[in-house]
Amino acid sequence: MNNSNISEKELLVLTEISHLISDSRGDAVTALEKSLETISRELHVENCVIYKLEPESELLKIYAAPTFNRHQKLIASYRLGEGATGLAAQTKEPIVVENVHNDLLFLNKTGNKNSDTLSYVAVPMVVEDEVIGVLAGNLTRQTLIDFDQTIQILTIVSSLFGQAINSHNIVEKQKERLFELKQYYKMEWDAKVHNFGNFVGQSPKMQQVYQVIERIAQSNVTILVRGETGTGKELVAAAIHKRSKRADEPFVKLNCAAISDTLLESELFGHEKGAFTDAKEMRKGRFELADGGTLFLDEIGDISAPAQVKLLRVLQEREFERVGGSKTIKVNVRLVAATNRDLEQMVKEGKFREDLYYRLNVIPINLPPLRERGEDIKLLVNFFLERSMKNHKKIVKINDDAMDILMRYPWPGNVRELENTIERIVLMGSEEGIDATDMQLLLPALKQQSPVQTAAPAAGVYEGTLDDIEKEAIAQAIETCEGSLKDAAEMLGITMRQISYKVKKYGI
């Protein structure tokens, strides 16, 4: 027989294998095992095994082998260069052991050599010049084809198997990534919502913010969003992501202030199984999950000194190791950080690394507090009012005197406090309308004021600066709550961190 040609029987084998792989319906292992059975049945190349190369351990482990029991599947493995199997993977060339009974290259780890076994052939499975694994089998006295024919047919088959395994790996990785992202974040993106849809406002300062977002969204430059709590820093990050080239990739977020120092490193970089007491399985960190996309780190000014060092390395080298691991993982992540703290002062005090500060502050975006966006307040009130009425299936009217109070209130909790206030208005209001007197119940900082005092803003007779008004509102809330900052923050609809900052700022 001319070895350069494929026999009719071999062609039928290839055809059957092609059909098995194409009809696998996602069950790659079963399709491959049936394919190996076909090779054994039709060509008498016995004990065929598919070894898959695991990149992290660089071990060839049995992936499909229908004639082996479960125990053998778990224990049989080869290092690169070990025996004929490992050598085939290392050299990317077929390896033939002509006599398995006296050649040291045949290690027989699976224990399938018998008196009929004559030779052993190992053929690498290569996809785009990368070794996926090895296809190997025994030639016996019953084998219908010789060495050259065996290498020829197994080389063709190994190409089919390699492509099938590679495709299966890609699909599984995509499924795993989608599952992880859903488990961690359960985020659904709507282009209409994040295309400045949640940014309500036409004030000059907000127009400046929009312009900066438009200009830098398509780049990969690191962004630092500055602004008080409740001004919408996460919305800025989302808008940048949706307008970037990474829009179809993950948008992953992490509030650094909400996680203890001991867990922050694991959250950012992930951990290996057994890295610490509760690490019962390997877990990917936010950087790894955001690979190809955007990572939003809120409250970046709150991370510890050790975490600052590790974050700086990722920004410089684009690589890291999981906690408890030694493998270096490379990522392609666009970072958007945010803070309401004075990083410049923290640098001077030695609380924040200067080199990290400059790495983060490549393009700063400064979000104005709501008290500096007076002309936007009415737009925001109407936006939140319409949305809340729709959610609660209720119609509520805000009378002019109540609207005047909303317009002049200093909003220490910014847009978030305004949103919470409108929610209360809808829940407690009616079609008859909310007036200035009602606002004493609905706007916590006004609870201590009389109806006459509350009506004063409508007449435009507030005295002092906006800071004075804000200071008074916070002081009144604290007094009402008998000195409890926690209760006062809840009353105002702001966070403990923010009210603590304001108390310190105003010396309350």
Domain C-terminal end among 172, 199, 225:
172
In terms of domains, do 211 and 119 share one?
no
Residue 1 in any domain: the answer is no
> 143-152, 291-300, 336-345, 361-370 — which is least confidently predicted?
143-152
Grade residue 133 by pLDDT with cuts at 50, 70 and 90.
Answer: very high
pLDDT at residue 65 in the model: 85
Owner of token pair 């409250």: 299
In terms of domains, do 278 and 389 share one?
no
Helix axes 496-506, 485-492, angle to 10 degrees: 110
Residue 3 in any domain: the answer is no
When comparing pLDDT for 1 and 160, which is higher? 160
Q: What does the pLDDT look like over 2-45, one tens digit per residue?
A: 445 678 888 888 888 888 888 877 688 888 999 999 988 888 88
In terms of domains, do 356 and 379 share one?
no
> 46-50, 195-199, 379-383 — which is least confidently predicted?
195-199
Q: What does the pLDDT look like over 216-262, one tens digit per residue?
A: 999 999 999 999 988 999 999 999 999 999 999 999 999 998 888 77
Which runs of consecutive H residues, i.e. helices, occur in 185-304? 191-194, 204-216, 233-242, 261-269, 286-289
> Which of 393, 337, 386 lies closest to 361, judged by CA?
337
Domain C-terminal end among 304, 334, 366:
366
Write out the residue range of the structural domain in which residue 483 sits.
373-506
CA distance 501 to 259: 19
In terms of domains, do 230 and 356 share one?
yes
CA distance 265 to 180: 18
Give the three-state DSSP class for 345.
helix
Residue 57 in any domain: the answer is yes
Domain C-terminal end among 366, 390, 413:
366
In terms of domains, do 432 and 304 share one?
no
* Phi, then psi, of 450 in degrees rounded to 5: -80, 165
Question: What does the block give as tokens for 483?
Answer: 């000195």
Grade residue 112 by pLDDT with cuts at 50, 70 and 90.
Answer: low
Grade residue 353 by pLDDT with cuts at 50, 70 and 90.
Answer: very high
Instruction: State the Cα angle at 504 between 485 and 309, rounded to 5°.
Output: 100
In terms of domains, do 322 and 391 share one?
no
In terms of domains, do 30 and 167 share one?
yes
Assess whether pLDDT exceeds 70 at residue 182: no
Assess whether pLDDT exceeds 70 at residue 107: yes
Grade residue 466 by pLDDT with cuts at 50, 70 and 90.
Answer: low
Assess whether pLDDT exceeds 60 at residue 327: yes
In terms of domains, do 359 and 377 share one?
no
Q: What is the mean pLDDT of residues 364-377?
A: 92
For 400, half-sphere exposure in the C-beta direction (CA atoms, 13 angstrom radius) is 3
> 343-352, 407-416, 487-496 — which is least confidently predicted?
487-496
In terms of domains, do 287 and 162 share one?
no
In terms of domains, do 382 and 357 share one?
no
Assess whether pLDDT exceeds 50 at residue 69: no
Residue 470 in any domain: the answer is yes
CATH of the domain at 124: 3.30.450.40
In terms of domains, do 95 and 133 share one?
yes
- What is the identity of the amino acid at 345? Q
Give this prediction's pTM.
Answer: 0.57
- Report strand pairing: 117-127 vs 363-366: unpaired
Burial state string for 217-229 with b = 16 or more CB within 10 A and e = fewer than 16: beeeebbbbbbbb
Residue 186 in any domain: the answer is no
In terms of domains, do 378 and 322 share one?
no
Q: What is the mean pLDDT of the chain?
A: 83
Residue 63 in any domain: the answer is yes
Give the count of domains, the chain: 3
CATH of the domain at 195: 3.40.50.300
Residue 309 in any domain: the answer is yes
Residue 183 in any domain: the answer is no
